[in-house]
Amino acid sequence: MSSTAANCFAVVLATACTFGYAPTASATETRSEAVVVARLYKDFGWQAFATQQELFGKDISHQGEAVLKRYFTPALTDLLMKDAACQIKYQGICNLDADILFDSQDPRLVDLDVQTVGSGKVSVTFKDPVTGERTQIDFDMSRVLGTWKIADIIYPAHENLSLRKLLSKKVQ
């Protein structure tokens, strides 16, 4: 090995050691169920503190397919896309009548907590700052190509209403 190659190898090795390089782990493999749900709230939870859609963008249920696929299984992505298309076609509400992240049309919250509660199960809880009412929303997760994705959202306050079942209803 030439001295230039040896020097380059030494620099690469030192850099890898400095930054804790782990060649067998990737970011998508190490993401837990809770991290996926927390990221969804981080990216689309703005509605709980702002009303300016023109500045922040559309809510999660009105995103394009590529964005939805980052968080949801293909089956749930397809159902969300169909409901959005229905809303455009009929120029109104189809199956979704509330924000899926907050179980509310006008979300406001404090004390958001995201916890893995079992394999493939994540629970989100938060409190309404005005009424003090606590809300819980449960996420059923599935692995898709090694990455956790949301397969369904359950709303315990509504007799365990399932987002997947709600979106599967035929529109009148």
If you write DSSP's letter for every residue of 72-101 in order, what string do you get?
B-HHHHHHHHHHHHHHHHHTS-SS--SBTT
**What's the pTM?**
0.78
Contact between 105 and 125 under an 8 Å Cβ cutoff? The reply is no
Confidence (pLDDT) at 131:
92
CA distances from 34 to 12, 39, 119, 131, 167 (A): 34, 8, 10, 27, 23
Dist CA 31 CA 85 (whole Å) = 31
Residue pLDDT, tens place only, 78-107: 999 999 988 888 888 888 888 999 998 888
Q: Are strands 121-127 and 161-162 parallel, antiparallel or unpaired?
A: unpaired
State the sign of the Cα–Cα–Cα–Cα dihedral 42, 48, 54, 60: positive
Under a CB-based contact definition with an 8 Å cutoff, are residues 33 and 148 in contact?
A: yes
* pLDDT tier, 17 (very low <50, low <70, confident <90, very high otherwise): very low
Q: In the structure encoding, which two tokens stand for residue 7, read together?
A: 């020097």
**Hey, what's the torsion of the CAs at 26, 27, 33, 38, to 10 degrees?**
180
Does residue 57 carry a pLDDT above 80? Answer: no
CA atoms within 13 A on the CB side of 134: 6
Q: Evaluate if residue 7 carries a pLDDT over 50.
A: no
Least Cα distance to 102 among 70, 149, 74, 134 occurs for 134
Q: For residue range 115-157, what is the model confidence (pLDDT) as tens digits? A: 999 999 999 999 999 999 999 999 999 999 999 999 999 999 9
Q: Which residues pair with 147 in a beta bridge?
A: 144
